[in-house]
């Protein structure tokens, strides 16, 4: 039986929900390119960690309303995007209701299983973002050790993996432990969002080592270019173990 896709609109905000009634994505109708949900904003912290010119091939696992895809499409003009979404109905909904761009030269939509996709040999990606859940808000095989190992194999030698994790309680690693293992400890968790989402970032290649002052300078330039303010996220990060001695190291 196919799951229900529920599109709702209230006070200028359009949302998509599945069976669980959890919001799968949202769009302000007057500002369709903006990131509404906090966790999607935190995922964009990855764009502060490497130079833009090194992030030319981006893979997204899970489409939802296309919020991340649209933001990257608009603000990373140097990048080619590949999006893997298992449900053709979700793709159709994103096109019809959430202004997903139709541009095959820069945006490749693949209807398929993200787990299977990352197992395939192919040109490596500089940035992989994982934000895929079924109708019960469960990531399934997207949150397993083999999947994260395959993600690492599909990254370039200066690549970054960004994952949306749900349901991590204090001092409980859950699927984050798989990411740590797959990347030999080169991973970091950002402070939990109000929604309960926790964003993890892992890296290959050269060490990512940035002081909070450097990150804040990059965040200012990023906001001037995109309109997205990442300063609140950095303020929370400042008191986390990931930023011991005022430096973020991955």
DSSP secondary structure letter of residue 139: -
**What does the alpha-carbon distance between residue 25 and residue 60 come to, in Å, rounded to a whole number?**
15
User: Distance between CA 164 and CA 141 in Å, rounded?
Assistant: 14
- Give the residue numbers marked as catalytic: 131
Nearest CA-CA partner of 61 in 116, 123, 136: 116
Do residues 158 and 205 make contact, with C-beta atoms less than 8 angstroms apart?
yes
Secondary structure of 58-79 as H, E, C letters: EEEECCCCCHHHHHHHHHCCCC
Q: Which two tokens stand for residue 183?
A: 């990347």
In angstroms, the CA 88 to CA 219 distance is 36
Element spanning 182, H or E:
helix 176-182
CA angle 180, 197, 215 (to 5 degrees): 70
């Amino acid at each position: 039986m196919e799951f229900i896709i529920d599109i709702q609109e209230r006070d200028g905000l359009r949302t998509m929900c599945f069976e669980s009634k959890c919001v799968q994505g949202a769009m302000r109708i007057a500002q369709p390119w903006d990131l509404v949900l906090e966790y999607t904003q935190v995922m964009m912290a990855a764009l502060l960690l490497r130079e833009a010119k090194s992030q030319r091939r981006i893979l997204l696992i899970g489409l939802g309303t296309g919020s991340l895809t649209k933001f990257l499409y608009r603000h990373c003009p140097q990048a080619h995007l590949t999006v893997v979404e298992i449900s053709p109905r979700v793709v159709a909904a994103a096109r019809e209701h959430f202004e997903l761009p139709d541009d095959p030269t820069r945006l490749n939509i693949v209807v398929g299983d993200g787990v299977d996709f990352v197992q395939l040999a192919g040109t490596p990606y500089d940035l992989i973002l994982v934000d895929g859940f079924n109708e019960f808000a469960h990531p399934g095989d997207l949150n397993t050790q083999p999947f994260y190992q395959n993600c690492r194999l599909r990254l370039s030698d200066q690549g970054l993996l960004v994952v949306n994790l749900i349901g991590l309680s204090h001092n409980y690693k859950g699927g984050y432990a798989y990411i740590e293992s797959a990347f030999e400890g080169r991973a970091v968790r950002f402070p939990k969002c109000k929604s309960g989402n926790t964003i993890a970032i892992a890296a290959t290649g050269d060490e990512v080592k940035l002081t909070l002052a450097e990150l804040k300078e990059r965040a200012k330039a990023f906001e001037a270019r995109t309109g997205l303010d990442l300063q609140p996220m950095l303020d929370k990060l400042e008191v986390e173990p990931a930023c011991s001695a005022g430096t973020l190291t991955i």
